[in-house]
Amino acid sequence: MKIFIDVGSHYGETVLEIAKDKYFFDKIYCFEPSKKCIPSLQNIADKDDRIKIFNCGLSNKNYKSRLFDSGSEAASIFQNNENNINDSEEISLLDAGDWFKDNTAEGSIIVVKLNCEGSEVDIVDSLIQSNEFEKIYNILITFDVRNFDHLKYKEIETRKKLRSLKYNNYCFSDNVMLGSTHERRIENWLSLFGVDTNISNLEALRKLYLENFKIYSNKTGFRQRLEGNIKNLMLYEKYPSSIKSFFRWIKRSLKLSRELDLERK
């Protein structure tokens, strides 16, 4: 069984890519707590019986919360200066470890994408505590806790915890989500770990792509955190779009941008 679990599905940007035949997924589970996004996701699911939509999020326990700035890319259960606290809705969150235990099986090729605006560290904690993390073939972590001053420290804590447990079945969006479009970035990530092959044996696939697991699980995120801190000091978000475009051009010229398309072998 080959399974994709999309945590933070938004309007289906990722699902449109991973539902392609070349990835050979048998089941696709989409978690999206915002009611505003569900009609778009359901429209995609109605055309593909592999896809199941859950109108809830994942966390480290079962509970209700408020989702601020619902429907936007910055939608989060945590508040900062950017999300709209006046546009919120009550949502349900499920314990990630419990859900994985009940809905996934050992030996399956399980691929997970976490893009959930701060909840990623709680999800990782739950998966580790429940011993479900090691069941996953590859999990993509986007550290959105960087967007919340009171949560930034959790990125370092999570990275240290993963290293101490000697797992290598994870990677970070900073390093693998490369390309000029979201679809190309997803494609690059999945190809790095052979998800775009029809190899169905979990251990054979792990062995074949072991070097990439070692390389990408050892990334520290130092440069990306440094860049974020510099931008905060510069009040970068207040700059006009023309200045931001100039800085992005410099990054592309120095080949430091994630928006560069990579050549395929």
Neighbour tally for 140: CB within 10 Å: 25
Query: What's the distance, CA 24 to chain centroid?
Result: 20
Amino acid at 89: E
pLDDT at 78: 79
pLDDT at 253: 74
DSSP state of 76: B
- What is the per-residue pLDDT across 201-244, written as a single tens digit (0 to 9) for each? 999 999 999 999 999 999 998 888 788 778 777 777 778 888 87
Domain ranges of the chain: 2-220
- Give ∠ CA 94-13-219 in degrees, rounded to 5: 75
Tokens describing residue 188: 């690059």
CATH number for the domain running over 2-220? 3.40.50
Tokens describing residue 198: 């029809």
Sheet of 63-68, strand order: 57-59, 88-95, 63-68
What is the chain's pLDDT, residue by residue, as a tens digit (265 residues)? 999 999 999 999 999 999 999 999 999 999 999 999 999 999 999 999 999 999 999 999 999 999 887 767 767 887 765 655 667 889 999 999 999 999 999 999 999 999 988 899 999 999 999 999 999 999 999 999 998 889 999 999 999 999 999 999 999 999 999 999 999 999 999 999 999 999 999 999 999 999 999 999 999 988 887 887 787 777 777 788 888 787 777 777 776 766 666 554 4
3-class DSSP state of 108: coil
Euclidean distance between CA atoms 6 and 233, whole angstroms: 33
Euclidean distance between CA atoms 50 and 56, whole angstroms: 19
Cα-based distances in Å from 35 to 15, 68, 96: 17, 12, 20
3-class DSSP state of 194: coil
Euclidean distance between CA atoms 89 and 261, whole angstroms: 37
Nearest to 7 by CA among 41, 39, 36: 41
pLDDT at 265: 45
Q: For residue 3, list its beta bridge partners.
A: 27, 110
